[in-house]
Structure 1
Amino acid sequence: MTASDKAFTGSIAQIYDRLLVPLIFASYAQDLAQRIGARQPRDVLETAAGTGIVTRALHAKLPPDVPITATDLNEPMLMQARTHLAGAARVRWQQADALALPFADRSFDVTVCQFGAMFFPDRVKGYAEARRALRPGGRFVFNVWDRIEDNAFPHVVHETLQQLFPDDPPQFFTRTPHGYYDTERIKADLTAAGFADIVIETVTHRSRAASAHEPAMAFCQGTPMRGEIEARGTPGLEAATQAVAEALERRFGAGPIEGAIQALVISAA
């Protein structure tokens, strides 16, 4: 992972929230909220909350007396997240590094993280912090993307950008979002952080968009891939986005499109 992989700056947060969240994140947020709700926690800590799709799912699922503390390293993402739950008194938003959480030991029943662990520069340290914040018997529940080949839209985006920039192909997707799917490695990292009773499930959903242009915009301009494209100059961000849209349309057709998405959902005690 590079420093730019965590750069959710400028208009990225708004595009991410408007296009990418419903495209690939919403169904997995509901999945996590269901799992956490079944545990009947007294309180929940969320790390790497992004623009708050899991926070919203938890707010809708959990009883109104269960407080939710939602954190993210990137303040622009939290600013966007706040717009959705501005009047929710039980939700506390706080800028925080998942590798150095500003909370006392044994403060929460559940720690949850949606598609954030791939961005941790030191995953064992991040997991150890999640464990430190948990009370005895608490659970760490999180998910990570599976191989890019099992995720239809980003796979086409990645392959198209490889062809568009053959001399210096951008590798953000395979390096970070889809770069941490080896189950034995995940188990080893969690074990090193002190976790036990590790359960890993493969969960598949369908990703749907009104047109090929939506995922092209979402992945090219609503993720740190934007910075990689812009850094390479010609043909530029708009031309690259258009090329991706055309590739998606060739693969999935004109009009509404859909494709498979696949992730690993992990729970550890």
Structure 2
Amino acid sequence: MANSYTALSQHYDLIMTSGYYDYGAYARTLLAQLRDRKDVLELGVGTGLVCETLLELCGADLRITGIDHTESMLTQARARLGDRVRLIWQDVVEMTTPPTFDAAYSVGGVWYCVEDEGSTLFCSHLLAEDDETRALKNLAAALRPGAPLLLAVQQAHRDYQRPLPGGLVYAQEIRAAEEAVAENLYVKDYFVRRDDEVVAHQRCQFRAYPQNQADRLLAQCGFRFQHTTANGLMRSYVRL
């Protein structure tokens, strides 16, 4: 996977917990969808904020494995979670795991969905379609038949900035990529500034598929769309 959040990792928690995500809402929605499923895989665990919220809500009932390919993020996740979650440095494109998981989810990790002007887009940090197919097939191989794949739904990506604690300012800028690497490819720049000085900058690329195209791709890799949750925060697929 090309994207890494190494440059932003020092400020990641500050950004994410100051209004970027409502972790409580996502965690409650996840738990309602997981029901009695216990062995769960998080795709793109980051610094462990989703895991931490899930464990606060459900105690030790979940057995979570979190994978990420950014070591600096995993270092923070290990400090936050200790031995409550199994954390693995892993690129989903290279993942080889037997079908041991009852469910998988991603909240802005490897895959997520975006609502934009009445349309739903399937967004991926994997830029090449061959990698996309390989990663989804790897994930299907890691899930038991009937297991749900739960993808967070976000609001449309827009340029904006907002203040952070400590006199910092967060800003993001999104544009279509100039390189013809893949169709529907975008570049997202994250900035943390203090007094107009950039103290951290991260550039990531993502690919946005129209939902009908994404559903066909997922079906080819062993997943069928089930539903969007009533609150609109998750799209659920099932491992066939």
Scaled to the shorter chain, the TM-score interval is: 0.5 to 0.7
Given candidates 191, 199, 205, the residue that maps to 1:176 is: 205
Give the Cα–Cα distance (whole angstroms) in 1 for the partners of residues 211 and 152 of structure 2.
Answer: 12
Deviation at 1:100, TM superposition (A): 2.4
Contact 2:160 2:173 in 1 (8 A): no
Give the Cα–Cα distance (whole angstroms) in 2 for the partners of residues 41 and 129 of structure 1.
Answer: 20
Q: RMSD between aligned alpha carbons? A: 3.1
Structure 1: which 5+ residue stretches go unaligned? 163-170, 205-263
Give the Cα–Cα distance (whole angstroms) in 1 for the partners of residues 231 and 209 of structure 2.
Answer: 13
Contact 2:173 2:188 in 1 (8 A): yes
CA 1:265–1:153: 2 relative to 1, 3 Å: farther
Counterparts in 2 of 1:58-73, with a 5 A limit? 58-73=54-69
Structure 2 residue aligned with 1:148: 157
Contact 1:142 1:267 in 2 (8 A): yes
Q: In the alignment, does 2:27 pair up with 1:18?
A: no
Structure 1 residue aligned with 2:236: 267
Structure 2 residue aligned with 1:158: 173
Determine which structure has the larger strand proportion and give its number. Answer: 2
Deviation at 1:74, TM superposition (A): 0.9
Any idea what the Cα deviations from partners look like across 1:115-169, whole Å, max 9, x if unmatched? 12221233232222222111121111112545324x7549x7427x99xxxxxxx
Contact 2:187 2:205 in 1 (8 A): yes
Determine which structure has the larger helix proportion and give its number. Answer: 1
Structure 2: which 5+ residue stretches go unaligned? 112-123, 163-170, 177-185, 190-203
Counterparts in 2 of 1:25-40, with a 5 A limit? 25=21, 27=22, 29-38=23-32, 39-40=35-36
Given candidates 2, 5, 8, the residue that maps to 2:5 is: 8
Any idea what the Cα deviations from partners look like across 1:54-77, whole Å, max 9, x if unmatched? 111221233414211111011111
Secondary structure of the residue that 2:14 maps to in structure 1?
Answer: helix
CA 1:123–1:201: 2 relative to 1, 3 Å: farther
Q: In the alignment, does 2:139 pair up with 1:111?
A: no
Structure 2 residue aligned with 1:189: 217
Structure 2 residue aligned with 1:83: 79
Quick one: percent identity of the two aligned structures?
25
Give the Cα–Cα distance (whole angstroms) in 1 for the partners of residues 139 and 224 of structure 2.
Answer: 13
Deviation at 1:200, TM superposition (A): 4.0
CA 1:20–1:37: 2 relative to 1, 3 Å: closer
